[in-house]
């Protein structure tokens, strides 16, 4: 059992006042048998009314609007959570039975949503790589762990070379990126192998700064195993997900789990700063520790319009 106090700060700063900002946030931690939310506060510029609903995937989603002019949008999410260790699958079912059950899943709702593949130029190469590990006698769990290990050992963790729009072809070519890219690749490979997989957004909680993805929102994958359910795999750190991961949202891919997104009227010139501070206890860290680990700058001072601010909303998960 572990306790964490998490402070997630998202700050948008605009060159000129903007208006009519309508936003959606998926910043509400999951509350279930392995993760108990002790406290959660969501503090937002101008203190707007937040409407919360449950989406198709079971995530809590908040929506709010800022009508008045503002040069800054500041979102503070303060979480106190207790996590428990997740049991490891025992793989007791016969191998053939497990694969047969997964083959049937492609026609079952809602599992079919997590088996839909992507189309991209390197599909044949990625398929060849993924299927090479689906050998006789290998269980779905063994294949999933092997693919996660493959990504960890053959891809380089490197910040700044990818963005939220980087596709599979570019990630496959670079063989590098951050947790969002590692999760994207594993998601695709698992589905090619016939294993339902879903994207997970959340936080990773290092004890001694030994894990990748610290200080920002993190991403990993959950694979579905017959008679067990969903098991989390973190290819960025080559580990099974347990009590050191805190879950926020799940979906088919990153777009279903984006922490913050929305629209506004005003100049497109703005900056985004994101910081995540995690304490192994129940005391929220002080503001001195809030150093942004993700920044994004858009320079376009001459243009004023009303359009979707995709780059503003989508913070790349590190």
55-90 tens-digit pLDDT: 999 999 999 999 999 999 999 999 999 999 999 999
What pTM value is reported for the model?
0.91
Enter the DSSP assignment of 153.
Answer: H
Q: What is the pLDDT of residue 263?
A: 87
pLDDT tens string 98-130: 999 999 988 888 899 999 999 999 999 999 999
Token pair, residue 229, equals: 């359910």
Q: What is the pLDDT of residue 267?
A: 83
What architecture is the 95-256 domain classified under in CATH? Roll (3.10)
Strands (DSSP E) contained in the chain are 2-25, 35-44, 51-54, 60-66, 70-83, 156-157, 176-177, 197-204, 218-225, 229-234, 239-240, 245-251, 260-267, 270-279, 294-298, 304-305
Fold match, 2-83+258-313 / 95-256: no
Domain 2-83+258-313 of CATH type 3.90.950.20: no
Token pair, residue 54, equals: 């449950």
For residues 193 and 134, the answer to whether their CB atoms sit within 8 Å is yes
Q: What is the pLDDT along the chain (318 residues), one digit of tens a residue?
A: 899 999 999 999 999 999 999 999 999 999 999 999 999 999 999 999 999 999 999 999 999 999 999 999 999 999 999 999 999 999 889 999 999 999 998 888 889 999 999 999 999 999 999 999 999 899 999 999 999 999 999 999 999 899 888 999 999 999 999 999 999 999 999 999 999 999 999 999 877 777 887 777 999 999 999 999 999 999 999 999 999 999 999 999 999 999 999 889 998 888 889 899 999 875 555 554 556 555 666 665 444 444 444 444 455 677
Distance CA 249, CA 256 (A): 8
Kindly list the domain boundaries of the chain, sorted by start residue: 2-83+258-313, 95-256
Q: What is the pLDDT of residue 282?
A: 54
């Amino acid at each position: 059992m572990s306790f964490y106090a998490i402070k997630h700060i998202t700050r948008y700063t605009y060159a000129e006042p903007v208006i009519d900002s309508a936003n959606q946030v998926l910043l509400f931690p999951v509350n279930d048998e392995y993760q108990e939310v002790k406290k959660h506060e969501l503090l937002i510029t101008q203190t707007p009314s937040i409407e919360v609903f449950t989406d198709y995937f079971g995530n809590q989603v908040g929506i709010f609007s800022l009508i008045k002019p503002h040069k800054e949008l500041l979102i503070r999410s303060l979480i106190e959570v207790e996590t428990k260790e997740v049991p490891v699958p025992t793989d007791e079912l016969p191998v053939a039975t497990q694969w047969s059950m997964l083959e049937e899943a492609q026609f079952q709702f809602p599992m079919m949503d997590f088996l839909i593949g992507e189309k991209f130029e390197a599909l044949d190469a990625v398929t060849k790589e993924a299927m090479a590990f689906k050998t006789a006698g290998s269980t779905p769990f063994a294949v999933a762990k092997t693919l996660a290990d493959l990504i960890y050992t053959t891809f380089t963790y490197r910040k700044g070379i990818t963005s939220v729009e980087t596709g599979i072809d570019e990630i496959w070519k670079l063989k590098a990126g951050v947790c969002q890219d590692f999760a994207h690749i594993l998601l695709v490979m698992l589905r090619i192998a016939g294993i339902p997989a879903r994207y997970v957004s959340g936080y990773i909680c290092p004890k001694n700064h030994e894990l990748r993805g610290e200080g920002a929102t993190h991403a990993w994958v959950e694979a579905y195993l017959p008679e067990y359910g969903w098991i989390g795999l973190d290819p960025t750190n080559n580990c099974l997900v347990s009590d050191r991961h805190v879950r926020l949202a799940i979906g088919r891919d990153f777009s279903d789990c984006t922490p913050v997104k929305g629209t506004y009227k005003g100049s497109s010139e703005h900056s985004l700063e994101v910081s995540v501070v995690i304490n192994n206890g129940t005391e929220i860290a002080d503001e001195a520790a809030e150093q942004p680990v993700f920044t994004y700058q858009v320079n376009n001072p001459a243009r004023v319009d009303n359009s979707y601010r995709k780059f503003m909303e989508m913070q790349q998960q590190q």
